[in-house]
């Protein structure tokens, strides 16, 4: 049964009023496939574009997005996040791997915040590097793990 569907198949916010606040964590990952020439520039050090340093700007954008998830995704609860960390690493396949880990002590989980943070960080890398190439592909965004709440998940 879908939790965001109520009587008469109407959309609704899930009522978490009676749930206890517990510690919860979620990690999401986005993968940005880069052309070799763009990846080479990023491997040489922090690529500085007219908009700023690519990875550092993507980290800031991802954290900002995670904090505003409730403004972007209908029915997400407003959460005061305890922590949000974004790490970006280039692998040997010319991919920027973005991991966003979010934690909170609350009545609801933070999967959507982690997914939003990773997604916006990936979009920021695309935006900042598109002047170099439009052959950039954001391949996937997925939940890697979540702990706390009803059940844990590990990909």
Q: Catalytic annotation on 127? A: yes
Asked if residue 5 is part of any domain, the answer here is no
Domain of 106 in residue numbering reads as 21-148
* pLDDT confidence of residue 103: 97
- Total-model pTM: 0.90
Total domain count for the chain?
1
Asked if residue 153 is part of any domain, the answer here is no
Asked if residue 15 is part of any domain, the answer here is no
* pLDDT confidence of residue 20: 86
3-state per-residue secondary structure call for the chain:
CCCCECHHHCECCCCCCCCCCEEEEEEEEEEEECCHHHHHHHHCCCCEECCEEHHHHHHHHHHHHHHCHHHHCCCCCCCCCCEEEEEEEECCCCEEEEEEEEEEEECCCCHHHHHHHHHHHHHHHHHHHCCCCCCCEEEEEEEEEEECCCCCEEC
* pLDDT confidence of residue 17: 72
* pLDDT confidence of residue 43: 79
* pLDDT confidence of residue 6: 64
Mean pLDDT by 10 residues, the chain (155 residues): 64 76 96 95 75 92 97 92 97 96 94 98 96 95 94 93
Asked if residue 117 is part of any domain, the answer here is yes
Catalytic entry in 15, 127, 135, 152: 127
């Amino acid at each position: 049964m879908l939790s965001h569907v109520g009587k008469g198949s109407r959309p609704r916010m899930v009522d978490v009023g009676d749930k206890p606040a517990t510690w919860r964590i979620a990690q999401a990952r986005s993968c940005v496939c880069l052309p070799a020439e763009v990846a080479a520039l990023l491997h040489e050090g922090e690529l500085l574009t007219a908009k700023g340093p690519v990875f550092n700007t993507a980290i800031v954008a991802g954290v900002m997005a995670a904090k505003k998830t409730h403004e972007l995704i209908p029915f997400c609860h407003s959460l005061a996040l305890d922590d949000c960390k974004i790490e970006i690493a280039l692998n040997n396949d010319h991919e920027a791997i973005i991991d966003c880990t979010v934690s909170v002590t609350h009545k609801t989980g933070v999967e959507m915040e982690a997914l939003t943070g990773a997604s916006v960080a990936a979009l920021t890398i695309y935006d900042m590097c598109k002047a170099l190439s439009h052959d950039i592909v954001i391949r996937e965004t997925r939940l890697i793990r979540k702990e706390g709440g009803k059940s844990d998940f590990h990909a």
